[in-house]
Amino acid sequence: MARQQLITEILRDLAQTEGDFDDLVPAVYDEMRHLARSQLQRLRSGGAIETTELVHEAYLKLSGVDPAWENRRHFFATAAKVMRHLLTDAARRAKADKRGGAAVHVPLLDVDAATRREADTFLAIDAALRKLAADIPRLADVG
């Protein structure tokens, strides 16, 4: 019960700009880890993000917002929402990578030049096979 009261006091001080967000961290760390584990179990997607990483990323996000939390419940509800957003963003990045998001993007002009080189190579091979077919038909039969 003392921990809950401490959290409430820190949140009240933060709302009145008399507190420091860093004072909140040790008071809520265990509950944040529990919340993160719960979020990860519910939204398990192959372990792209670990519990500690999720807690720390959530702290970074929460430290950058106006601390107008009404009470502990409001703080933890906000923390859960931030964690869901972080997990959603991680899932989107993973999905984008699967669709070629991490691929090297080549300018269209470079693709056109590569296509022309491939066409030139194809035509050279075709010309060589035609010449071979004229000289030795049996060797030219590759189809």
Residue of 123, 23, 122 lying closest to 67 (CA atoms):
23
pLDDT per position in the chain (143 positions), as tens? 587 888 888 888 877 776 677 888 888 889 999 999 888 887 665 556 888 999 999 998 988 877 778 888 888 989 998 998 888 888 777 777 666 666 666 666 655 666 666 667 767 777 887 888 888 877 766 54
Classify 35 as helix, strand or coil: helix
**Which tokens in the block code for residue 100?**
């070629």
**What pLDDT sits at residue 33?**
92
Q: Which residue type sits at 117? A: R
**Which tokens in the block code for residue 73?**
């419940």
Alpha-carbon span 53 to 6, nearest angstrom: 25
Q: Tell me the Ramachandran region of residue 106: left when phi exceeds 0, alpha when psi lies from -120 to 50, beta otherwise.
A: beta
